[in-house]
Amino acid sequence: MNLYIDPVNGLIVVVGLFVGYAVYRFPLTTPGGSASLNKQGDLSGGIAAAAAAIVILAFLFGRGDGTANQDGGNSPTPVATVHETRIDSPPPSSVAK
């Protein structure tokens, strides 16, 4: 089974993962703290930064809003309606006047 991923969506995910990696790998040092003790950052901070970057970029590029459907953007057709007929009344052609 092949899964087609739009190149813009793939780029958004790659940029988000890069942002998360950058936040995890290169943390900011606190004033008065030693940079040698703080080699790596917080894992949850990196994951949160990656998720935030992906969501923000998806909104900026208009992805995930449902406008580009695989069926060409056609709206679904309505379900056929059911016409009710009464069994206890005679057909209109046999009614005597």
Domain annotation covers residue 65: no
Domain annotation covers residue 94: no
Find, among 40, 46, 39, the residue nearest to 16 by Cα: 46
Burial label, 53 (beta-carbon count in 10 A; 0-12, 13-18, 19+): buried
Residue 9: pLDDT band (50, 70, 90) is: confident
Q: Identify the pLDDT of residue 53.
A: 92
Domain annotation covers residue 89: no
pTM: 0.54
For residue range 58-81, what is the model confidence (pLDDT) as tens digits?
888 876 655 555 555 556 666 767
Domain annotation covers residue 67: no
Domain annotation covers residue 72: no
- The answer to whether the beta carbons of residues 57 and 15 sit under 8 Å apart is yes
Domain annotation covers residue 52: yes
Q: Identify the pLDDT of residue 15.
A: 92
Domain coverage including residue 18: 7-29+37-60
Distance CA 16, CA 50 (A): 5
Domain annotation covers residue 74: no
Number of domains in the chain: 1
Mean pLDDT of 70-96: 64
Q: Identify the pLDDT of residue 17.
A: 93
Domain annotation covers residue 14: yes
- Please count the other Cβ atoms lying within 10 Å of the Cβ belonging to residue 49: 19
| Residues of the chain above pLDDT 70, percent | 58
For residue range 34-55, what is the model confidence (pLDDT) as tens digits?
555 556 678 888 899 999 998 9
